Amino acid sequence: MTEPTYPASVTLDPAWTPETVAVQAGRPARVPGAPMNAPVTLSSTYVQSASVEYGRDGNAGWGALEAALGALDGGHAVTFSSGLAAATAIADLVPTGGTVVLSTVTYFGVRVIFERLQAHGRLHLRMVAPDDTAAVLAAADGADMVWVESIANPLIVVSDVPAIAAGARERGALTVVDSTFATPLRQRPLELGADVVMHSATKFIGGHSDLLLGAAVCRDPAHAATLTVHRHDHGALPGGLEAFLALRGLRTLAVRLDRSEASAGELARRLTAHPGVSRVHYPGLPGDPQHERASRVLRDGVGSMLSFEVAGTVEQTEAFLARLRLVTNGTSLGGVESLIERRARYAGDASIVGPTLCRLSVGIENVEDLWADLHEALRGALG
């Protein structure tokens, strides 16, 4: 029997919604004998050829995932071994001696990358509050890149991506949006004028806390080509198995996100009324300072990340976390299981969050079970 041959990619209907694209994109074309899923290629080397020779040159599994992420965000996707590897490669788009406007509320790992580049004299940084659009644009004068998060970690601050991207473009600067918290289902920054979207697919896209993977999706194919060269030369490559798992995770993103987001909204409402909580940061709440902007720049929802401040001491907050039996006290986010942590335990976040701020990544467990756990632990720790 001979192996069936089939075209590499299924044809997507431009009328399909993102939820459908997430399920269909990156599959082999639907012809008799074709598999439903792109095969997993686990090989570090290939029979010598003019294109792929070695594992750093490419992998069929990356191609399928990149086709799907590119279709969702409307650009050219390049995948990496982690979100931070993608961020490192994107920083390469800044010319030597150039200037980057960086949001003060940025995942601290990304901030460390840029601070180190600045310390080495590679570029200059201007730090600005992401919710002050006028300040972001003032800082963008003469800059080469503006970097914001669509929904920023860990304070859940929403940036006005359309206004920032338009203003940055007028000033000749690229806009990069880390859309890890929003995912392509809650914001598509390229459609809003941004130049590059970054995802830590480790989080919601993978969705099961079982892989690390990053992606950059570029409006300009020349940027994608630069990033591809960076990946090849620096070696921050996604594993073939991780690429498969990330694509499998993407298939269920819509249902996971709908469910966890509905629970996040409910938990945010209940936490707001809880005597053990002094403040909730969740743009889905009508009273949240981010609410109006979030309804304008995000679509179909505001995601399932929320933060809240425990009305007590650091010791009481740690006691609350220790009492939780369902929600896990651990770092990371975007998985099917709920995770919580006190962010000020990281030096990188201690300067921007209050000492008792807990960041909660709401999973897909039953919301009443989640609430019972949070409520009991708060009551036990605070009396």
Ligand X SMILES: Cc1ncc(COP(=O)(O)O)c(C=O)c1O
Q: Would you please indicate which residues are annotated as catalytic (active-site) residues? A: 56, 107, 178, 203
- Quick one: CA torsion of 111, 103, 181, 224, rounded to 10 degrees? -70
The first and second tokens of residue 381, run together, are 């720790």
- Write b or e for each residue in 337-371: b if 16 or more Cβ atoms lie within 10 A of its Cβ, otherwise e: ebbbbbbbeeeebeebbbebbbbbbbbbbebeebb
Is the Cβ of residue 84 or residue 327 nearer to ligand X in the bound state? 84
Among left, alpha and beta (phi > 0; psi -120 to 50; other), residue 358 is beta
Residue from 79, 99, 133, 153 in contact with ligand X (CB under 6 A) = 153
Q: Is 341 in the site for ligand X (CB under 6 A)?
A: no
The site map against ligand X for 37-76 (x = CB under 6 A) is: ----------------------------------------
- Minimum CB separation of residue 310 from ligand X in Å reads 21
Which H or E run contains 125?
strand 123-128
The region of 45-53, 80-88, 283-291, 364-372 touching ligand X under the rule CB under 6 A is 80-88
Q: Is 149 in the site for ligand X (CB under 6 A)?
A: yes
- Minimum CB separation of residue 227 from ligand X in Å reads 15
Is the Cβ of residue 234 or residue 379 nearer to ligand X in the bound state? 234
Residues binding ligand X: number (CB under 6 A): 14
Residue from 159, 180, 263, 328 in contact with ligand X (CB under 6 A) = 180
Is the Cβ of residue 107 or residue 378 nearer to ligand X in the bound state? 107
Q: Is 214 in the site for ligand X (CB under 6 A)?
A: yes
Question: What is the rounded CA–CA span in Å between residue 185 and residue 254?
Answer: 7
Q: What is the DSSP string of 274-337?
A: -TTEEEEE-TTSTTSTTHHHHHHHS-S---SEEEEEESS-HHHHHHHHHH-SSSEE-S---SSS
Q: Is 84 in the site for ligand X (CB under 6 A)?
A: yes
Is the Cβ of residue 28 or residue 283 nearer to ligand X in the bound state? 283
The first and second tokens of residue 319, run together, are 């006691």
Percentages (nearest 5) of helix, strand, coil residues in the chain: 40, 15, 45
Is the Cβ of residue 341 or residue 373 nearer to ligand X in the bound state? 341
Residue 305: name the closest of 253, 369, 353, 363 by CA: 363
Which H or E run contains 347?
helix 347-350
- Minimum CB separation of residue 103 from ligand X in Å reads 11
- Minimum CB separation of residue 346 from ligand X in Å reads 11
Q: Is 178 in the site for ligand X (CB under 6 A)?
A: yes
Residue from 10, 93, 212, 254 in contact with ligand X (CB under 6 A) = 212
Q: Is 82 in the site for ligand X (CB under 6 A)?
A: yes
Residue nearest to ligand X (CB): 83
Q: Tell me whether residue 2 is exposed, middle or buried, using C-beta atoms within 10 angstroms of its C-beta: 0 to 12, 13 to 18, 19 or more.
A: exposed
Q: Beta strand 174-178 with 305-310: parallel, antiparallel or unpaired?
A: unpaired
Question: What is the rounded CA–CA span in Å between residue 144 and residue 163?
Answer: 17
| Length of the chain as a residue count | 383
Q: Is 200 in the site for ligand X (CB under 6 A)?
A: yes
- Minimum CB separation of residue 48 from ligand X in Å reads 33
Residue 231: name the closest of 50, 65, 55 by CA: 55
- Minimum CB separation of residue 120 from ligand X in Å reads 21
- Minimum CB separation of residue 34 from ligand X in Å reads 31
Q: Is 189 in the site for ligand X (CB under 6 A)?
A: no
Please give the residue ranges that form the binding site for ligand X (CB under 6 A): 82-84, 107, 109-110, 149, 153, 178, 180, 200, 202, 212, 214
